[in-house]
């Protein structure tokens, strides 16, 4: 067993919705980024890459590469899942925390779990999505941006 | 095995003590919150909920619910532990980091481990409490608030 | 199995290089600290101490102790590794995330993994180093400091 973790931040900019863990949520701002700026999915992707020691999302999908402009982040997540599988591994569990004052995540949690489960080919009960605020402190508290943390537990065949 | 994580923040306000990991510590401020604002115990509770995919502390104990006003956070933690046990699971290990400039956590670490062990029905050597500062940077560095991170390793019976 | 985590921050100050995960990187600033201020190695050290419940790096190597002034952080990391081994444990996996706008971490990742592998007596494929920015938000975004997160998966012999 190996645990990897991920952390990702995106800034808010004018707009009318965010995409988080594959779910579109109406909001008074959008998240800025080269791709769809899905910080939750990016943190999870990094947690998977981290568990298997395969660099990070920025190596595999450089923001400077026009190929990934506006990309759906599920491309990134699927790549990480495939890399685990290619090593004979399996994903035991994923846990994601979205850190923001707004939008409210709770009403969208189940849709997020279903979206991630579908993309990852995993049972929804192996995927946890949580949310918290920073009580109006720091950049998330000032609603300048949104942060996401993730852990992934992966089972890899041990070398003999 | 599954690893969950948690993150929680509470702001300081005028007062003379904080409660962290179940231990009352004299301080020049208190932590603001609907409950006793024990960020360490909240992060740990979320790590347990995260490991079993059961939402987050805000779902189970909404801050908007007057029932939890001034609540001792051990109610939250016990609930999370009970949910693990109800699934035939066991808690292998917990690790908590308290992030603040002050108060000093080190002198209270052992009391915290004992308090958590008692609440959780776990051996103290399965509970780690650590502390760090952010070198006067950010909201914790400016002593506007205190942050806590936690990971929980949980053994769940695998489905056949 | 047990997962521990670590978090560490150091502020930038005038200088011409940083030391991260044991690798010297030319930069327009240095990291401030009593030791060599290697936040990546400190977070990893704390993750190992956290996995075995042995306090934190500040207990073992107090910044107030002149003995550790300018110390190479590998002394801290080796101590944590030795404590795992002394308990009959083994380190399954380590995952580190360096959070900063600059310097660029990617070009140094492999050197970092090799440096940590050598210090820890571990295969490099059990060590992951990742990087991310906070999109110019917060203290890392303002380049006031650098943060590091780590998780360590440790196998400990279970008590009968
Ligand atoms: Mg991103
Ligand atoms: Mg709280
Ligand atoms: Mg340090």
A136 C-beta neighbours (distance < 10 Å), count: 15
CA of C18 to the centre of ligand 1 (A): 25
Question: pLDDT by residue (tens digit) across A16-62?
Answer: 999 999 999 999 999 999 889 999 999 999 999 999 999 999 999 98
| Distance (Å) from CA A136 to ligand 1 centroid | 22
Of the residues A1, A2, A58, the best mutation for testing chain C's interface (the one with the most C CB atoms within 10 Å of its CB) is: A2
Whether B70 and chain A come into contact, CB under 8 Å, resolves to no
Who has greater pLDDT, A70 or C62? Answer: C62
Mean per-residue pLDDT, A132-145: 98
pLDDT band at B159 (very low <50, low <70, confident <90, very high): low
Whether the per-residue pLDDT at B68 is higher than 90: the answer is no
Q: How does pLDDT run across B2-28, given as a tens digit for each residue?
A: 999 999 999 999 999 999 999 999 999
- Rounded to an integer, the average pLDDT of A81-90 is 96
Would you call B10 exposed, middle or buried from its count of C-beta atoms within 10 A (0-12, 13-18, 19+)? buried
The predicted model gives C18-34 an average pLDDT of: 96
Residues with Cβ within 8 Å of C103's Cβ and at least 6 positions away in sequence, in order, are: C18, C25, C26, C27
Please state at what angle helix C74-86 crosses helix C39-52, rounded to 10 degrees: 20
- Per-residue DSSP letter, A158: P
Beta strand extents in chain B (DSSP E only) = 2-14, 17-20, 23-26, 29-31, 90-99, 127-132, 145-155
Distance CA A124, CA B23 (A): 36
Is the pLDDT at C160 greater than 70? The verdict is: no
Element (H, E) at A112: helix A109-120
Average predicted confidence (pLDDT) for chain C: 95
User: What pLDDT is attached to residue B137?
Assistant: 98
CB distance from B3 to chain A under 8 Å? yes
Contact call for B135 and C9, based on CB within 8 A: yes
Average pLDDT (A119-135) is 97
Strand, coil or helix: C92: strand
Residue B12 forms beta bridges with which residues?
A: B31
Residue B93 has pLDDT above 50, yes or no: yes
Parallel, antiparallel or unpaired: strands A29-31 and A2-14? antiparallel
Computed over every residue of chain B, the mean pLDDT equals 95
Q: Note the pLDDT tens digit of each residue in C55-94.
A: 999 999 988 888 888 788 999 999 999 999 999 999 999 9
Taking residues C105-130, what's their average pLDDT?
A: 97
Mean pLDDT of B19-46: 96
Q: Give the side-chain half-sphere CA count within 13 A for B9.
A: 21
* B7 vs A3, A109, A149: nearest CB: A149
CB pairs under 8 A between A and B: 90
CB atoms inside a 10 Å sphere around CB A133:
18
Task: Give per-residue burial for B110-122: e unless 16+ CB within 10 Å, then b.
Answer: ebbbebbbebbeb
**Would you call A153 an interface residue with chain B, using a CB distance cutoff of 8 Å?**
yes
Substitution target in A1, A13, A30, A53 with the highest count of C β-carbons within 10 Å is A53
Cα B79 from chain centre: 13
Task: List C residues 83-142 in contact with B (Cβ-Cβ < 8 A).
Answer: 138-139
What value does the mean pLDDT of chain A take? Answer: 95
Question: What integer is the mean pLDDT of C142-160?
Answer: 92
Give the pLDDT score at A159. Answer: 66
Q: How confident is the model at residue C159 (pLDDT cuts 50, 70, 90)?
A: low
**What is the pLDDT at residue C36?**
92
Neighbours of chain C (3+ CB pairs under 8 A): A, B
List chains adjacent to chain B, taking adjacency as at least 3 C-beta pairs closer than 8 Å.
A, C
Q: Does residue B76 surpass a pLDDT of 90? A: yes
Q: Which residue of C has its CA nearest to A34?
A: C135
**Is residue B160's pLDDT more than 70?**
no
Q: Whole-model pTM? A: 0.96
CA–CA distance, C75 with C77 (Å, rounded to integer): 6
């Amino acid at each position: 067993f190996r645990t990897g973790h991920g952390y990702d931040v995106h800034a808010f900019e004018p707009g009318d919705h965010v995409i988080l863990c594959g779910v579109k949520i109406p909001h008074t701002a959008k998240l800025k980024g080269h791709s769809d700026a899905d910080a939750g999915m990016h943190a999870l992707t990094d947690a998977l890459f981290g568990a298997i020691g395969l660099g990070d999302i920025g190596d595999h999908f450089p923001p400077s590469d026009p190929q990934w402009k506006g990309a759906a982040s599920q491309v990134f997540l699927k790549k990480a899942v495939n890399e685990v599988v290619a090593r004979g591994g399996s994903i035991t569990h994923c846990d994601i925390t979205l850190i923001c004052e707004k939008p409210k995540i709770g009403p969208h949690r189940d849709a997020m779990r279903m979206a991630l489960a579908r993309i990852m080919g995993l049972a929804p009960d192996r995927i946890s999505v949580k949310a918290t605020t920073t009580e109006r402190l720091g950049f998330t508290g000032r609603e300048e941006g949104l942060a996401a943390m993730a852990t992934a537990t992966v089972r890899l065949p041990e070398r003999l």
